Amino acid sequence: MVPVFWLSISQLTGRWRVILITLLAALPVGLAVIVHFAATEDDSFDENFMDILLDGMLVAGIVPLVTMALSTASFGNELEDRTLSFLTLKPIARWQIALPKFLASIAISGPLLIVSGVVAALLGFDGSIKAAAAVGVAVLVGVTAYAAIFTWAGLVTSRPLAFALIYVLLWEGVISTYIDGVNYLSVRGYTLGIMYGINENGFGSLSERVIEFPAAIVGAIVVTMVFSLLGVRRLRRMDVP
Amino acid sequence: MTTNQSHINSEQAGAQPVIDVLSVSKWFGNVVAVNDVTLQVYPGITGLLGPNGAGKTTILHLIAGLARCSDGSVTVLGEPVRDNPDLYKRVGVMSEHEAVYGFYTGRQFVEFAARMHGLKPLKGPVDRAIEMVALGDAQGRSVGTYSRGMRQRIRLAASLVHNPEVLILDEPLNGTDPRQRIEFHETMIRIASEGRTILISSHILEEVETLADRILLMVSGKLAAAGDFRAIRAKLDEQAYKVRVVTTSPRAMASALMAMEEVDSVSVGPEEGELIALSRNVNTLQLSIPRLAQEHGIRLLRVEPLDDSLESIFSYVVER
């Protein structure tokens, strides 16, 4: 598995992709710096900051977009350039191909997004370690669940980016925001639920719209497991070009 | 004992085929890519021939386990090939596509393949594989900078690094120059002489003619002929080929052609000054036509074989 992991890291760290995801991940930090120094006298700062920056920008936008850019490519690019057969013709089980590819996309997007979220939280919540930890853990969970979904998408469709964009915008962005109960089937819902569950006081304004902490953990685990297994199943059954 | 002899002896002795394809079909939606093909491959070099679109790559994908059979079964070394990754310890496959990991050097690419096969230590097998394809001098260069032929060779090295018993090569000579082809032929003959089984596909008759002793001919998704190359070639030589001759003096040229022993018949073509000559010895005919024209003071505008293509040869085999 280790050679496939490092191969995937090399494949996913093309210059333009790294620049793009780094810029995206830097956005919340940049915004937090601006707001931190410009609006510290405003009492409602914390609440607005959390809503706009952490939920609206980081959790609903940056986390899925960065993960999408990496995870859809981990198999999508190999299918497009037809190098996947080079891996599947080796004496290793298909899960030993799928798992390191899944982990490689998390290994790149996870640290970037966690650092982004933690720094933004530290700036926005006056150095609160608990808030930063809550954001860091929640982002890691979100990245992991999204990575499982998008890695699977890279295997089942020839247009994984289009699929992922529609999913993120419609399901995670619109439907999970406006339809009650969809939060239980939404990675965004799990991410916010875990963030709130770890630091209820810091993220009090979320109390009306988050799912229960245990439900968020179970949901994230189920989504990650189900889509990982679906990915391995697809890799075993598909005709490799 | 030559490769061919050992192969034919294996077949005659009723030995277990190394690759056994039994009533295999593969369809994609309404398109039938491979239609009820049964074939066996024994130790030695076997050429899989067919025009583009004949189903060669599809059947090789089925044999390699990259694709699932819609019907029928494939076994390699007596084991089902699909969902059986352990089998790849004994099988090397080089696919048709030239894609490689451009960020690796040639050596890193082969080392990666060796690691995936669990080889330890890497140095010996990697050195041997790179030496086999004569890329020692370029092994430190990025694969992305390789020519098409060099990519083919480094991919071949990666397919050979674990010393497989069975080698499946899809159009391996694409992009190689004549010198590389000769080296490739020598390498394949050496590997086959060690008792290994090599299945090579090509759409170029001459490419396989000098290499394989046994051929499998595929046309339109079906196996059109299989057997000793020379026997099939002899049958093919019975076919009369068409040669198109365009001249300013068609009547004089037709008379001259009809006097030739190699010419079976001459007919007038639709174009002005066009003649169609039928011959069983097209090479001699093509050499003789300019001499005839010179002797009779005839001006030639064009001489070309009309059906000296693999497609026409296969059509002939199928019709028989």
Chain B hits for A11, CB-CB cut-off 8 Å, are 101, 103
Contact B85 A92 (CB under 8 A): yes
- Dump pLDDT digits (tens) for B20-69: 999 999 999 889 999 999 999 999 999 998 888 889 999 999 999 999 99
CB proximity under 8 Å: A 145-174 to B: none
Assess contact for B303 and B289: CB atoms under 8 A.
Answer: yes
Between CA B293 and CA B291 the distance in angstroms is 5
Q: Taking every pair of C-alpha atoms in chain B, what is the biggest distance, in angstroms?
A: 74
Closest-CA residue of A relative to B83 is A236
Q: Which of A89, A92, A241 sits opposite B64 (nearest CB)?
A: A89
- Which chain B residues are Cβ-neighbours of A89 within 8 angstroms? 64-66, 88, 91, 93, 95
**DSSP character string of A54-95:** IIIIIIIIIHHHHHHHHHHHHHHHHHHHT-HHHHHTSSS-TH
Q: How far is CA A96 from the centre of its chain?
A: 22
Q: Which range, B21-25, B283-287, B295-299, is most confident? A: B21-25
Q: Closest Cα partner for B63 from B50, B77, B74, B78?
A: B74
Does the beta carbon of B83 lie under 8 angstroms from any beta carbon of chain A? yes
The pLDDT assigned to A111 comes to 96
Residue B135 in contact with residue B153, Cβ under 8 Å? yes
Q: Name the residue among A104, A111, A114, A182 with its Cα closest to residue A147.
A: A104
CB-based contact B116 A237, cutoff 8 Å: no
Residue-by-residue DSSP string for B81-115: -TT-GGGGGSEEEE-S-----TTSBHHHHHHHHHH
Is A82–B97 a contact, with Cβ atoms under 8 angstroms apart? yes
What is the value of pTM for the model shown? 0.81
N-terminal to C-terminal alpha carbon distance within chain B? 33
Q: What DSSP element (H or E) covers B41?
A: strand B31-41
Q: Give me the pLDDT at residue B166, please.
A: 96
Please state, rounded to an integer, the average pLDDT across all residues of chain B: 85
- Which residues of chain A does B101 touch, with a Cβ-Cβ cutoff of 8 Å? 7, 10-11, 83, 86
Burial class of residue A96 (count of CB atoms within 10 Å of its CB; 0-12, 13-18, 19+): middle
Closest residue to B99, CB basis, from A83, A88, A92 = A83
Q: What is the pLDDT of residue B309?
A: 52
Which of A72-76, B76-80, B281-285 is the least confident region?
B281-285
- 3-class secondary-structure state, position B79: strand
| Residue B54 CA: distances (Å) to CA of B32, B35, B167, B256 | 11, 11, 21, 40
> Does residue B287 have a pLDDT over 90?
no
Flag whether residue B283 sits within 8 Å of chain A, measured between CB atoms: no
Burial class (CB in 10 A: 0-12, 13-18, 19+), B297: exposed
Cα distance between residue A215 and residue A184, in whole Å: 7
The answer to whether A239 contacts B66, with C-beta atoms less than 8 Å apart, is yes
Check the CA dihedral A139-A143-A149-A154 and report its sign: positive
Write the burial class of residue A193 (CB in 10 Å: 0-12 exposed, 13-18 middle, 19+ buried).
Answer: buried
Q: How confident is the model at residue B130 (pLDDT cuts 50, 70, 90)?
A: very high
Contact B93 A10 (CB under 8 A): no
Secondary structure class of B189 (helix, strand, coil) = helix
Nearest CA in chain A to B110: A86
Q: What is the mean pLDDT of residues B242-248?
A: 88
Half-sphere exposure of B164 (CA within 13 A, CB side): 32
Cβ within 8 Å of B, A 78-117: 81-83, 85-94
Cα B239 from Cα B317, distance rounded (Å): 9
Contact A91 B113 (CB under 8 A): no
Looking at the predicted complex, does its ipTM rise above 0.90?
A: no
pLDDT (0 to 100) of residue A47? 63
How many angstroms separate the CA of residue B19 from the nearest CA in chain A? 16
Instruction: Please give the average pLDDT of every successive group of 10 residues along chain A, which has 241 residues.
Output: 93 92 93 76 60 84 94 91 92 96 96 94 86 95 97 92 92 86 92 92 80 95 97 94 86
